[in-house]
């Protein structure tokens, strides 16, 4: 009854409506609107420093006059207020405030600032990012050394930073910097910054110690013979893995910053005296010109620096293997390794280079050549087989022997779809299985592959959706695409296959031939860092003995001609040398007679 009265009352009486907003809503502000109108690159939004809040209306900052500058210096020295200058202040409290402001402390909680006294006399503090430095070194080596009573025993004035660097700090890599911007970057990279009272320089101590994956077996480029090591996500580790293979003083590593906001870095590696300087310069130029907020690994860099972004074929070769990276460097190519992904990129690259694997050189030459030919057969199957099947069944029945034609006709009799629809159903199903198998966890992924291939194929045939012959065609296509060693090329071929399916369905062999001609034109017009993509075939250059077939290792005397390396010669007449040498030992002077 009470409920009824309440309902009736609420029906008759007016009530203020409740706030029915659904909660948080992100609306565009006027500031954002104006920010988006500009043509320039996006700039990182930094919160204003405390003193700047008083001057909100000012959009541009006029240079300080001499009295103003003196005033600000006075304020700095008297009240520990940062002046806004990028130079490190001699007063420790100013540096402390500056670092706190730059890292938004106390809002930002993973920056550690530890104040202490060096040798129980000199005020100092250390700043680092929690989790990025090696705390063992910090606790057991660094702090005991600098906080030791005798740490400043020999100090007779002058720069304390120099004294500590020369006599106290027990760390292998120490540098000094007088700019806050540089110091902030070093702290973000995992170094430790030591600020000292009355010192205009900060000591940067490199004791990086963040968690990283160990060197493990490669996941995408497994081989039976040869090295089993793969790259990791850490740039320094990856460079070391390459340097361990090429122990040559001419191997140059240039570290370059990329990403305006995430401040990542990448290494450009080349063998000086072998790699063409023009290619090295072009690689550096393209990386330097990348203007973006965020770079995560080599895959993003690849998309910024490739020659033809609208082409399907990859123009940069990506590998997970240090041994393969080393072989590229020895061939005169330039390698780019970025922080964050376990891959290295090699440029320039040709179409035929995408079919090579590190196993080719690990096995004897007839076997290596055979593997290459198998891969080319795989390419043929992966690209053309479904298209040819459609063309033959729709347009060119006459080329099939009567018995085969009869069996195809019988198998297709119960299928209600046109051939092209039938092929598309199977191809898309196969692509779904493959994509699903990659995304789900490994154990389930394998099962999914088997289930998909066997059950779906069998069920589709039993249900009369597709003909048995088509299942074989699609299976061959799938196997062919798996045989392509380069993942990006494999993806490109998967996409091209659909072009050939439509071309075959539209105009039979005529359509497929035209598509081949078109793709040939496109491929022949492409370049990878100035090197034609189809060289040394089109245009013809001096053929190396390791292009399509892998001929004996001792015949491969020169580096690839198309890369225009400074040093063309790779090796001498190895086989001839030991054949021509006089016999020694038992069959020497006496036995030989």
Partner 1 sequence: MIKEGKIGVSEAMFLVVVAISNRVFFTAPAVVVKAVGTSGWYMALVADLTAIVFFCFVYLLLKRFPDMNLIDIFSVCFGKVLGFLFSFLYAGSFVIVCGVLLREFIDVLKVYVFDSTPLSVLAGSVLAVIMAAAFLGLETIARVARMAGFIMLAGLIALMCMAAPQFKLDNIFPVGGYGFGKTLFEGLTRSSAYSEVIVLGIVAGALQGAPHIKKAGFSALVLSGIVLSGILLGVELVFPYYSLQELTSPLYELARIITFGTFFQRMDPIFLFIWIITTTVSSSILFYCAVSSYCKAFKLSDTRPVIIPIAVIVFTFVIQQRDIIVVVDKLIEALRISPVLLFYILPAAALITAVIRKKKGGEQAIGNS
Distance of CA 355 to the CA centre of its chain: 20
Selected from 516, 543, 549, 551, the binder of partner 1 by CB under 8 A is: 516
Residue 415, token pair as written in the block: 């299928």
Q: d(Cα 339, Cα 301) in Å, to the nearest integer?
A: 11
For residues 271 and 251, is the Cβ–Cβ distance under 8 A?
yes
Residue 306, token pair as written in the block: 């490739």
Q: d(Cα 1, Cα 54) in Å, to the nearest integer?
A: 62
Residue from 334, 375, 335 nearest 357 by CA: 375
Selected from 143, 510, 553, 570, the binder of partner 1 by CB under 8 A is: 510
Residue from 331, 269, 275, 271 nearest 570 by CA: 331
Selected from 450, 518, 566, 577, the binder of partner 1 by CB under 8 A is: 518
**Can residue 502 be called a binding residue for partner 1 (CB under 8 A)?**
no
Min separation Cβ 469 and partner 1, Å: 16
Q: Report the residue number, 232 or 528, with the smaller CB distance to partner 1.
A: 528
**Can residue 522 be called a binding residue for partner 1 (CB under 8 A)?**
yes
Count the site residues for partner 1 by CB under 8 A: 28
List residues bridging with 81 in a β-sheet.
none
Selected from 521, 571, 583, 592, the binder of partner 1 by CB under 8 A is: 521
**Can residue 513 be called a binding residue for partner 1 (CB under 8 A)?**
yes
Residue 132, token pair as written in the block: 């990025």
Min separation Cβ 502 and partner 1, Å: 12
Contact range with partner 1 by CB under 8 A, out of 73-81, 96-104, 438-446, 509-517:
509-517
**Can residue 417 be called a binding residue for partner 1 (CB under 8 A)?**
no
Element containing residue 28 per DSSP (H, E)? none
Q: How far is CA 135 from CA 129, 141, 175, 179, 568, in A?
A: 11, 9, 19, 25, 49
Residue 278, token pair as written in the block: 């023009």
Element containing residue 47 per DSSP (H, E)? none
Min separation Cβ 287 and partner 1, Å: 27
Calculate the dihedral angle through the C-alpha atoms of 289, 293, 298, 304, rounding to the nearest 10 degrees.
-40
List residues bridging with 317 in a β-sheet.
346
**Can residue 180 be called a binding residue for partner 1 (CB under 8 A)?**
no
Residue from 253, 241, 250, 375 nearest 321 by CA: 241
Angle, helices 442-450 vs 419-439, to 10°: value is: 160
Contact range with partner 1 by CB under 8 A, out of 3-11, 57-65, 117-125, 512-520:
512-520
**Can residue 399 be called a binding residue for partner 1 (CB under 8 A)?**
yes
Site for partner 1 in 528-557 (CB under 8 A): 532, 534, 537-540
Long-range contacts of 298-303 (CB under 8 A, 24+ apart): 298/266, 298/336, 298/337, 298/338, 298/341, 298/343, 298/344, 298/345, 299/341, 299/343, 300/338, 301/258, 301/266, 301/336, 301/338, 301/345, 302/345
Q: Report the residue number, 458 or 513, with the smaller CB distance to partner 1.
A: 513
Min separation Cβ 551 and partner 1, Å: 20
DSSP assignments along 87-135, one per residue: BPPSSHHHHHHHHHHHTTTTT--SEEEEEEEETTTEEEEEEEETTTB-H
**Can residue 401 be called a binding residue for partner 1 (CB under 8 A)?**
yes
**Can residue 508 be called a binding residue for partner 1 (CB under 8 A)?**
yes
**Can residue 73 be called a binding residue for partner 1 (CB under 8 A)?**
no
**Can residue 21 be called a binding residue for partner 1 (CB under 8 A)?**
no
Q: Report the residue number, 401 or 585, with the smaller CB distance to partner 1.
A: 401
Contact range with partner 1 by CB under 8 A, out of 75-83, 235-243, 390-398, 574-582:
390-398
Q: Report the residue number, 539 or 591, with the smaller CB distance to partner 1.
A: 539
Min separation Cβ 542 and partner 1, Å: 12
**Can residue 525 be called a binding residue for partner 1 (CB under 8 A)?**
yes
Selected from 48, 140, 278, 514, the binder of partner 1 by CB under 8 A is: 514
Q: d(Cα 232, Cα 383) in Å, to the nearest integer?
A: 33
For residues 361 and 327, is the Cβ–Cβ distance under 8 A?
yes
Min separation Cβ 394 and partner 1, Å: 12
Q: Report the residue number, 70 or 520, with the smaller CB distance to partner 1.
A: 520
Selected from 185, 524, 543, 548, the binder of partner 1 by CB under 8 A is: 524
Selected from 173, 442, 520, 587, the binder of partner 1 by CB under 8 A is: 520
Residue from 104, 254, 130 nearest 192 by CA: 130
Selected from 517, 567, 571, 572, the binder of partner 1 by CB under 8 A is: 517
Selected from 509, 551, 552, 557, the binder of partner 1 by CB under 8 A is: 509
Q: Report the residue number, 198 or 525, with the smaller CB distance to partner 1.
A: 525
**Residues at the site binding partner 1, with contacts judged by CB under 8 A:** 392, 395-396, 398-399, 401, 507-514, 516-518, 520-522, 524-525, 532, 534, 537-540
């Amino acid at each position: 009854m009470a409920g009824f009265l309440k309902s009736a009352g609420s029906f008759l009486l007016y009530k203020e409506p409740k706030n029915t907003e659904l909660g948080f809503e992100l609306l565009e502000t006027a500031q954002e609107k104006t920010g988006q109108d500009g043509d320039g690159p996006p700039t990182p939004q930094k919160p204003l420093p405390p003193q700047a809040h008083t001057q909100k209306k000012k959009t541009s900052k006029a240079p300080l006059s001499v009295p103003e500058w003196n005033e600000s210096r006075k304020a700095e020295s008297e009240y520990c207020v940062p002046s806004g200058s990028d130079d490190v202040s001699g007063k420790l409290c100013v540096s402390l405030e500056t670092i706190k402001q730059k890292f938004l402390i106390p809002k930002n909680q993973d920056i550690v600032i530890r104040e202490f006294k060096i040798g129980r006399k000199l005020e100092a503090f250390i700043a680092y990012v929690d989790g990025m430095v090696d705390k063992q070194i910090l606790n057991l080596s660094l702090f005991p050394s600098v906080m030791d009573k005798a740490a400043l025993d020999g100090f007779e004035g002058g720069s304390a930073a120099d004294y500590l660097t020369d006599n106290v700090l027990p760390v292998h890599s120490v540098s000094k910097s007088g700019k806050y911007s540089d110091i902030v970057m070093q702290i973000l990279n995992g170094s430790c910054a030591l600020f000292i009272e009355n010192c205009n320089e900060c000591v940067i101590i490199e004791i990086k110690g963040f968690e990283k994956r160990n060197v493990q077996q490669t996941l995408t480029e497994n081989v039976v013979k040869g090295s089993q090591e793969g790259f990791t996500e850490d740039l320094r580790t990856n460079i070391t893995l390459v340097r361990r293979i090429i122990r040559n003083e001419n191997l140059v590593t240039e570290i370059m910053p990329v990403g305006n906001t995430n401040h990542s870095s990448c290494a450009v590696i080349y063998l000086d005296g072998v790699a063409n300087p023009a290619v090295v310069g072009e690689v550096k130029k393209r990386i330097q010109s990348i203007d973006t907020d965020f770079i995560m690994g080599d895959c993003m860099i690849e998309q910024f620096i490739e020659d033809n972004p609208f082409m399907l074929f990859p123009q940069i070769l990506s590998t997970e293997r240090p041994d393969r990276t080393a072989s590229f460097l020895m061939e005169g190519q330039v390698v780019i390794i970025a922080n964050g992904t376990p891959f290295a990129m090699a440029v320039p690259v040709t179409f035929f280079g995408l079919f090579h694997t590190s196993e080719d050189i690990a096995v004897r030459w007839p076997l290596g050549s055979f593997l290459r030919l198998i891969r080319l057969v795989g390419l043929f199957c992966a690209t053309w087989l479904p298209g040819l099947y459609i063309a033959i069944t729709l347009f060119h029945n006459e080329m099939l022997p009567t018995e085969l034609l009869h069996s195809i006709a019988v198998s297709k009799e119960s299928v209600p779809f046109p051939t092209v629809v039938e092929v598309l159903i199977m191809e898309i199903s196969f692509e779904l299985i493959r994509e699903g198998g990659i995304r789900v966890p490994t154990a389930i992924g394998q099962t999914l592959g088997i289930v998909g291939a066997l059950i779906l194929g069998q069920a589709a045939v039993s249900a009369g959706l597709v003909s048995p012959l088509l299942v074989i065609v699609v299976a061959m296509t799938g196997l062919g695409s798996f045989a392509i060693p380069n993942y990006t090329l494999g993806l490109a071929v998967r996409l091209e296959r659909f072009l050939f399916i439509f071309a075959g369905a539209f105009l039979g062999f005529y359509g497929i031939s035209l598509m081949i001609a078109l793709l040939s034109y496109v491929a022949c017009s492409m370049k990878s860092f100035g090197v034609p993509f189809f060289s040394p075939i089109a245009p013809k250059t001096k053929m190396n003995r390791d292009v399509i077939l892998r001929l004996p290792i001792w015949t491969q005397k020169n580096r690839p001609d198309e890369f225009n390396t400074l040093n063309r010669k790779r090796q001498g007449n190895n086989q001839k040398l030991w054949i021509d040498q006089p016999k020694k030992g038992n069959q020497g002077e006496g036995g030989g007679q």
